[in-house]
């Protein structure tokens, strides 16, 4: 039976970690993810878990410790944000290449510089091609639920890839919301025990981890990672379906909010979806057929499914909370538009970079995007596909 509680996003993730009771947690504090290992350390201190908590000297060391623990046969978790993730960068790739199903909470924050501790998605976008499964969370409930499902997905024999659960720094990480928690026994049974097939401490199977991979092997190993990422899509759906059966909370690769009969639609991730739903409801009350597609699973990217879901609309706006600085739009926009092209779906699509460094994104701004889409749908073409939302005019030259 679910337990009603009021928790911040960070507390929710730390609670999920407590219920999972991993073998090892290694972490170094960085705003706005600091509270997660802080809360978890209290669970260690008061005996609520028997986890080995490793207080390291840097985020690079945190991921290194997780890699060592997971390779030895332990279940390892960590949390970080922004510059901390950047310092892990080398080890992020090593974790995925070694096929170690580490689970990390990534509390999204702008990557320096200039220094900014507030929310955007530049940290996640910086490692989007590192071979990690990436789940995004609109609210505290989703951050909690995604964390409960994470090990089941990452540790599946057809996957064996690390996984990060993303949520928006401060917007959800520090905001307190009503939440449904599962009881400890439910989580223990649902997550199960980690039983790796190959691990360093198995005396019956001596093995090496992290050897030099020269020309004759690296290509094939990278292709194996790619196949595992493809496999993850079905595993995510299977685990989500089981989770829904047990809890009543439904998750897919993405959420379609009033999209079935929509004429114009926005695609976005994380907490912005909540504001967009509010605007969709307001526009629907005025007779405007607006819809939303909220991406939950960013890696593996469900390109075929998203293209199909958007194929009937007359115009689409993709909102990116980071700028790729490539003069052709943000990362989510690139993935959506390339997926639509490959699937032979040709819908006028415009990109809005927004919310950089924690800039507020209001309902009025979201409504202005829908107004633009109605004009694009009427004209059937786009004059400028690369736009900013909420940028002060006159400050950019």
Query: Does residue 394 surpass a pLDDT of 90?
Result: no
DSSP state of 356: G
| Six-digit token string for 314 | 């007359």
> Is the overall model pTM greater than 0.85, yes or no?
yes
pLDDT at residue 317, rounded to an integer:
98
pLDDT at residue 2, rounded to an integer:
86
Type and span of the H or E element at 107:
strand 103-108
What percent of the chain lies above the pLDDT cut of 90? Answer: 97
Same fold yes or no, 3-247 and 254-389: yes
Q: Does domain 3-247 have CATH number 3.40.367.20?
A: no
Dump pLDDT digits (tens) for 52-107: 999 999 999 999 999 999 999 999 999 999 999 999 999 999 999 999 999 999 99
Q: Which CATH architecture does the domain made up of 254-389 adopt?
A: 3-Layer(aba) Sandwich (3.40)
Q: Residue 266: which of 326, 333, 323 has the closest Cα?
A: 333
- 140-154 and 184-191 helices cross at what angle (nearest 10)? 40
Confidence of residue 397 (pLDDT cuts 50, 70, 90): low
Cis bond upstream, residue 114 (ω within 30): yes
Query: What's the chain's average pLDDT?
Result: 97
Q: How far is CA 376 from CA 116, 347, 349, 355, 369, in A?
A: 35, 10, 9, 23, 10
CB 60 within 8 A of CB 88: yes
Q: How far is CA 12 from the centre of its chain?
A: 16
Dump pLDDT digits (tens) for 207-265: 999 889 999 999 999 999 999 999 999 999 999 999 999 999 999 999 999 999 999 99
The torsion angle over the Cα atoms of residues 279, 281, 282 and 287, rounded to 10 degrees, is 120
- For the chain, the domains span 3-247, 254-389
């Amino acid at each position: 039976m679910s337990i009603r509680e009021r928790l911040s996003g960070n507390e929710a993730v730390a609670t999920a970690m407590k219920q999972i009771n991993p073998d090892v947690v290694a972490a170094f504090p960085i705003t706005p993810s600091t509270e997660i290992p802080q809360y978890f350390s209290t669970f260690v201190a008061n005996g609520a878990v028997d986890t080995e908590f490793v207080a390291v000297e840097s985020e690079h060391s945190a991921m290194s410790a997780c890699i060592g623990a997971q390779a030895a046969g332990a279940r390892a978790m960590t949390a970080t944000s922004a510059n901390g993730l950047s310092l892990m960068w080398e080890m992020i790739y090593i974790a995925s290449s070694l096929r170690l199903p580490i689970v990390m909470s990534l509390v999204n924050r702008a990557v320096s510089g200039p220094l900014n501790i507030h929310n955007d998605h530049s940290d996640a976008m910086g490692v989007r091609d590192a071979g990690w499964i990436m789940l995004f969370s609109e609210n505290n409930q989703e951050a909690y639920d995604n964390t409960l499902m994470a090990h089941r997905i990452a540790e599946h024999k057809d996957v064996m890839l690390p996984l990060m659960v993303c949520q928006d720094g401060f917007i959800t990480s520090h905001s307190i919301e009503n939440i449904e928690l599962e009881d400890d026994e439910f989580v223990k049974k649902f997550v199960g025990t980690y039983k790796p097939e190959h691990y360093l401490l198995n005396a019956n199977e001596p093995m090496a981890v992290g050897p030099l991979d020269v020309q004759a092997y690296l290509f094939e190993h990278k292709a194996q990672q790619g196949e595992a990422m493809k496999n993850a899509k079905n595993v995510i759906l299977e685990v989500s379906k089981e989770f829904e059966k047990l809890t009543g909370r439904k998750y897919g690769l993405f959420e379609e909010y009033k999209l079935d009969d929509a004429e114009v639609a926005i695609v976005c991730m994380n907490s912005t979806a909540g504001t967009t739903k509010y605007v969709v409801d307001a526009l629907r009350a005025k007779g405007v057929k607006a819809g939303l597609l909220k991406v939950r699973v960013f890696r593996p990217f469900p390109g075929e499914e998203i293209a199909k879901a958007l194929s009937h609309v007359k115009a689409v706006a993709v909102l990116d909370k980071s700028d790729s600085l490539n003069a052709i739009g943000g990362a989510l926009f690139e993935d959506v538009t390339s997926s639509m092209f490959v699937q032979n779906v040709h819908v006028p699509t415009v990109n809005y970079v927004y919310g950089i460094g924690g800039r507020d994104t209001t309902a009025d701004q979201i409504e202005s995007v829908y107004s633009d889409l109605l004009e694009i749908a009427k004209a059937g073409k786009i004059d400028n596909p690369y736009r900013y939302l909420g940028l002060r005019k006159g400050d950019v030259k």
